[in-house]
Structure 1
Amino acid sequence: MIQVNALPDDDRACGWYHTSQPRQAKPAHSGHSRARWAVLGAGYVGLAAARRLAERFPDDEVVLIEAQEVGFGTAGRNAGFAIDLPHDIGAADYIGDLAEANKVWNLNRFGQQQLVAQVERYGIPCELRHSGKYQAAVEPRGLAVLEAYRGGLDRLGAPYEVVSGDDLPDHIGTSFYKEALFTPGTILMQPSALVKGLADNLPANVTLYEHTPVSGVDYGDKITLSHAGGTLTVDQLVLANNAFGQHFGFLKGRFIPLFLYASLTRPLTAEEQSRLGGKDFWGVIPADPGGSTVRRTHDNRILIRNSFSFHPNGVGDRRKLMQFRENHRISFQRRFPMLPDVDFEYTWSGQLAMTRNHQSFFGKLAPNVYAALGCNGLGVTRGTASGVLLADWMAGERNDMVDFLLASPGPNRNPPEPFLSLGVNFSLWNTFRKAGLEA
């Protein structure tokens, strides 16, 4: 039996979780039971895979296992962007090979379509809106990125609008940025509310167990998952737990668990909203990768997201929350000097499952073991699409999107410690330093 030596343990202060509608978590698994299918991890990949397997095999029980509580973990801690466009940071124009970029674009839009269909079908109250996004810059380095990306978008034939710094206050209230590219295809939502709603509207043949961290796994003709309250024996296992997948005996040393930090203000008063101006709902991503993601939410709060840390075991360090909250305060003051008395109500961290070559794993790991792991920061769209398509492939279906995912070379192997930590930590420090005012 493989002992799982790292388990999710997120901080308690996620603003998205606390400001979304409360729900009653499903009971933890107990005793000894059997099922044909098990999906490990109830984030975007796991929820999508469990739903699709249940639809494909309506006479079978599909067990979905979550170590924490749905909406509390990684899937509920991102900035709430469901982005459609490809963004290849290794390419000069951020698009790269046109044929591959079109496949990524189609895949991301497929993921969006899956989410929109479920939100509309079940009336999930997650404030999902087709709002587009602004990619904004203030430093010469960031402005050069926007110029290069414009060329890539032209090659791709993707729509965009250039918004000058003089016009940006009418869009987002602040005059901080010098230029932005507005792309209309992005969807914004409240991420914790979204995954809570998806979990509460699963097909009847999906059994969800929450607060059930798996501590051991025995592979064979049947797969036995062990936890503190019992065991679950299944015929087929899907790993949908991102960087934690490497603790289950596969792809060890191929993920880089990064933590990104966010703070959410109290709601703005009516007078503060008037002082800010601009649209009442928007999202900004930074042109520079070390910069700040910023959102104005449906309940008139401001989100600031920046600052990274690296923790090889996938468990964050709560001591960094207050340290990076100060970074958020500086970033907020730069952008919103007209709101000097607005403080943060929540500060939290969320994990990104990154890989060195920005490739995911999709497919079969071993007999009866399948996975879609390593979303590289695109969990909302790419994760949803991958979960659906993995279940389709397991059911015997092939299409262009499945073939594209199967063709991935998978994640590169990381260098050994201490070189990995030294390299990643230096890269993070240098990225944040070079971002300058973009941070």
Structure 2
Amino acid sequence: MTKVTALPADDQQCAWYHLSRQRQAKTGHSGTSSARWAVIGAGYTGLAAARRLAEHFPHDEVILIEAQEVGYGTAGRNAGFAIDLPHDIGAEDYIGDIEIAKTTLKLNLLGQSLLQTQVKTHGIDCHMRSSGKYQGAVETRGIAVLEAYQRGLDKLGQDYQVISEQDLPHHIGTSFYKKALFTPGTILLQPSALVKGLADSLPSNVTLYENTAITEVEYGDKVVLKHEHGQIIVDKLILANNAFGQRFGFSQIQRTMLPVFLYASMTRPLTENEQAQLGGKDFWGVIPSDPFGSTVRRTHDHRILIRNSFSFNPNGQPKPHCLKRFIQRHQQSFMNRFPMLPAVDFEYTWSGSLALSQNHKGFFGQLAPNVFGALCCNGLGITRGTVTGTLLADWLAGERSELTDFLLATSGPNKVPPEPFLSIGVNATLWWGQMKAGLES
């Protein structure tokens, strides 16, 4: 028997969740149920895996288990960038090995295509637009990063546009940035609305249980998933719950994923007068040249999102004191960029976790007899989670492709040091990175 020692418990003020369509959560599980398949985690990976399994095995029930409510947890808390391009922050030109980069691009493009098809087929209202993204720089060091990335994009043969300091206000209103690279392939969307829509359009042979946290697992010829109100007995289990997956008893993924939390705030809607003062396009997204800098978005309903600041939360749960502290940093970042909007306040502030690995690799494949996983998206959950969940289900149905073989051959996330050395090291890295980001934050 394996006891699951950490469960998700996200904070309550995620703007994406509250501003998206309200839905009735599916009833939590109770009693004893049996099925051929179970998937733990109803984020992008789990939703994609459950959908594809149900399509491959239309006569089998697929049970999808979510510890919280769909759209409330991690999948609904990101900045809403479905990115196409590879971005290897460990490589000098942010592209690295060209063959790996080409395959990564194919994975990301397939993830985008799968999502676009579902949104169109099921009429999911998630404000999805193929609007591209800006990568902005403020300081000399940030501009050097953009120049290196240009060289990498040239090597990969991908389109981009260099936006000068004087032209940037015509694009995003603010004159804060000194230079930006615009890449056209990114899709922007409302993440919680997307996840809710994907959950409510699952095939009829998928049974979704929300607010059902698995607390014990028994492995054997059958897998027994126990929770507060009952148990679910299945032939095969897929773990699609990112960093929480390492709590399920498998040595190859224990101490490999870092639950790092990012913090975001979103304003009230801008008035028509404030929109005119801001100028620029009415819908855009900016990512920072420095990984520790600020992500900024203007949303479909004319709000501004600021996302920055990190904390390492080993138990996978948010830290309320960080939420209170980082809102001040968000306010300063907002005023640095938008001095023309002095009366605009934040309406929501929240946190959301990333599953990061030290070597920027995820896990894909078999963990034990009857147990499989697609885990650790390294901050690219929208596209990477969707494509890995889909391809894992294809593989379990006997279908293989070049992309499946690439994922199966990946070494997976490497081990990290034990505590207390891990927390000391990660916290020092986060502190130094945020200090070094300077005006990019």
Render the CA deviation track for 1:344-373: whole Å, top value 9, x for unaligned: 000000000000101100000000000000
2:432 to 407, 417, 430: 430
Equivalent residue, structure 1, for 2:314: 312
- Residue 314 of structure 1, CA deviation: 1.0
- Residue 418 of structure 1, CA deviation: 1.1
Render the CA deviation track for 1:42-69: whole Å, top value 9, x for unaligned: 0000000000000000000000000000
- Residue 417 of structure 1, CA deviation: 1.1
2:274 to 272, 275, 279: 272
Equivalent residue, structure 1, for 2:300: 298
- Residue 434 of structure 1, CA deviation: 0.6
Equivalent residue, structure 2, for 1:139: 139
Render the CA deviation track for 1:284-327: whole Å, top value 9, x for unaligned: 00001110000000000000000000011111112211100100
- Residue 81 of structure 1, CA deviation: 0.1
Equivalent residue, structure 1, for 2:207: 207
Equivalent residue, structure 1, for 2:237: 237
State the distance in 2 between where 1:8 and 1:90 align: 30
Equivalent residue, structure 2, for 1:45: 45
State the distance in 1 between where 2:108 and 2:262 align: 22
2:384 to 373, 382, 385: 382
TM-score by length of 1: 1.00
Equivalent residue, structure 1, for 2:111: 111
Equivalent residue, structure 1, for 2:287: 285
Matched residue SS, 2:215: strand
Matched residue SS, 2:101: helix
Where in structure 1 are there 5+ consecutive unaligned residues? none
Where in structure 2 are there 5+ consecutive unaligned residues? none
Letter in 2 for 1:162: V
TM-score by length of 2: 0.99
Equivalent residue, structure 2, for 1:90: 90
Render the CA deviation track for 1:168-209: whole Å, top value 9, x for unaligned: 000000000000000000000000000000000000000000
Letter in 2 for 1:211: N
Matched residue SS, 2:259: strand
State the distance in 2 between where 1:71 and 1:290 align: 25
Letter in 2 for 1:400: E
State the distance in 2 between where 1:319 and 1:133 align: 32
- Residue 19 of structure 1, CA deviation: 0.5
Matched residue SS, 1:121: helix
Matched residue SS, 1:309: strand
- Residue 235 of structure 1, CA deviation: 0.2
Letter in 1 for 2:322: K
1:335 and 2:337 equivalent? yes
Equivalent residue, structure 1, for 2:326: 324
Matched residue SS, 2:308: strand
Matched residue SS, 2:432: helix
Matched residue SS, 2:86: coil
1:363 and 2:365 equivalent? yes
1:262 and 2:267 equivalent? no
Equivalent residue, structure 2, for 1:7: 7
Equivalent residue, structure 1, for 2:350: 348
State the distance in 1 between where 2:108 and 2:189 align: 16
Equivalent residue, structure 1, for 2:418: 416
Letter in 2 for 1:353: A
- Residue 385 of structure 1, CA deviation: 0.3
Equivalent residue, structure 1, for 2:255: 253
State the distance in 2 between where 1:80 and 1:188 align: 6
Letter in 1 for 2:62: V
Equivalent residue, structure 1, for 2:71: 71
State the distance in 2 between where 1:164 and 1:404 align: 38
Render the CA deviation track for 1:205-227: whole Å, top value 9, x for unaligned: 00000000000000000000000
| Identical-pair percentage | 68
State the distance in 2 between where 1:313 and 1:361 align: 20
State the distance in 1 between where 2:343 and 2:59 align: 57
Letter in 1 for 2:113: Q
1:402 to 401, 404, 429: 404
